[in-house]
Amino acid sequence: MKKPLRKAVLPVAGLGTRFLPATKAMAKEMLPVVDKPLIQYAIEEARAAGIDQFCMVTGRGKTALVEHFDVAFELEATLRQRNRVEALEQLKGSQVEPGSMVTVRQQVPLGLGHAIWCARAFIGDDPFAILLPDDLVLSETPCLKQLADAYRETGGNVVAVVEVPREHTNRYGILKTGHDDGRLVEVQGLVEKPAPADAPSNLSIIGRYVLMPEVIGHLAKMERGAGNEVQLTDGMARLIGHQPFHGLRYKGTRFDCGDKAGFLEAQIAFALARPDLADAVRGFLHKYV
Facing residues of 254 across strands?
137
Instruction: Please report, in angstroms and rounded to a whole number, the separation of the first and last CA atoms in the chain.
Output: 55
Residue 147 C-beta: closest distance to ligand UTP, Å: 17
Q: Could you say whether residue 173 binds ligand UTP (CB under 6 A)?
A: no
Indicate the burial class of 245 (C-beta count within 10 angstroms; 0-12, 13-18, 19 or more).
Answer: buried
Residue 46 C-beta: closest distance to ligand UTP, Å: 14
Q: Could you say whether residue 15 binds ligand UTP (CB under 6 A)?
A: yes
CB-CB contact of 95 with 72 (8 Å): no
Q: Which of 258, 263, 266, 271 binds ligand UTP (CB under 6 A)?
A: 258
Q: What are phi and psi of 43, to 5 degrees?
A: -65, -40
Q: Which of 5, 8, 9, 13 binds ligand UTP (CB under 6 A)?
A: 13
Q: Could you say whether residue 134 binds ligand UTP (CB under 6 A)?
A: yes
Residue 27 C-beta: closest distance to ligand UTP, Å: 8
Residue 84 C-beta: closest distance to ligand UTP, Å: 33
Tell me which residues in 90-129 interact with ligand UTP (CB under 6 A).
106, 109-112, 114-115
| Nearer Cβ to ligand UTP (143/281) | 143
Closest CA to 190 of 150, 244, 143, 247: 247
Total residues contacting ligand UTP by CB under 6 A comes to 22
Residue 185 C-beta: closest distance to ligand UTP, Å: 22
Residue closest to ligand UTP (Cβ) = 14
Tell me which residues in 29-88 interact with ligand UTP (CB under 6 A).
57
State how far the alpha carbon of 90 is from the alpha carbons of 25, 95, 125, in Å.
25, 10, 36
DSSP string, 46-114: HHHTT--EEEEEE-TT-HHHHHHTS--HHHHHHHHHTT-HHHHHHTGGG---TTSEEEEE-SS---HHH
Q: Using CA of residue 46, residue 52, residue 57, residue 61, what is the dihedral sign?
A: positive
Overall residue count recorded for the chain in this entry: 289
Q: Could you say whether residue 199 binds ligand UTP (CB under 6 A)?
A: no
Residue 94 C-beta: closest distance to ligand UTP, Å: 19
Closest CA to 239 of 137, 116, 153, 144: 116
Q: Could you say whether residue 192 binds ligand UTP (CB under 6 A)?
A: no
Where along the sequence are the contacts to ligand UTP (CB under 6 A)? Answer: 11-19, 28, 57, 106, 109-112, 114-115, 132-134, 258
